[in-house]
Amino acid sequence: MIVRTLQAAENSSRKIVDPKGNWDSTRLLLKDDNMGFSFHITTIYKGADFQMHYQNHLESVFCMSGRGEVETLADGKKYPIEPGTIYILDQHDQHVLRAFEEMKMACVFNPPLTGKEVHNAAGAYELDAEKIEE
């Protein structure tokens, strides 16, 4: 059994802060946990407006608090995000995420992240990121 608290993880190397200032992510479950997915609590800062394109991962995102929108770039469609909304990037969707308020999101990645990933120039995570140390 694996048991962790968000508070303890936030005070460890499991908390990653976006160098561009759009988000921070606490990675509660990672590749080394051998579950086949990773689980994160991510804060998207108010005013964030940035593009992502997870070419190597599938992601599902559940909004716990805050408001914003996600826009799919293939068709320009915008979807509101509010508490209780889930969006799933099941087609490696290129998208823009906007936060009208600070948003707390629960995120699941497949394949799992190692813990040190940050977005590359294309807005994706690499598959071979450096392993996290506890």
Give Cβ neighbours of residue 128 (< 8 Å, ≥ 6 apart): none
Residue 42 to residue 59: CA distance in whole angstroms:
13
- Band the pLDDT of 63: cuts 50, 70, 90: very high
- Confidence (pLDDT) at 129: 46
pTM equals: 0.86
pLDDT surpasses 70 at 132: no
Using omega within 30 degrees of 0 as the cis cutoff, is the peptide bond preceding 83 cis? no
List, for residues 67-124, the tens digit of each pLDDT value: 999 999 999 999 999 999 999 999 989 999 999 999 999 999 999 988 766 655 555 5
- Local structure of 30: helix, strand or coil: coil
82-94 tens-digit pLDDT:
999 999 999 989 9
Q: Fill in the amino acid letter for 68.
A: G
Q: Tell me what pLDDT residue 53 has.
A: 83
Domains in the chain and their CATH numbers? 18-110 (2.60.120.10)
Residue 98 contacts residue 45 (beta carbons within 8 Å): no
CA distance 53 to 75: 14
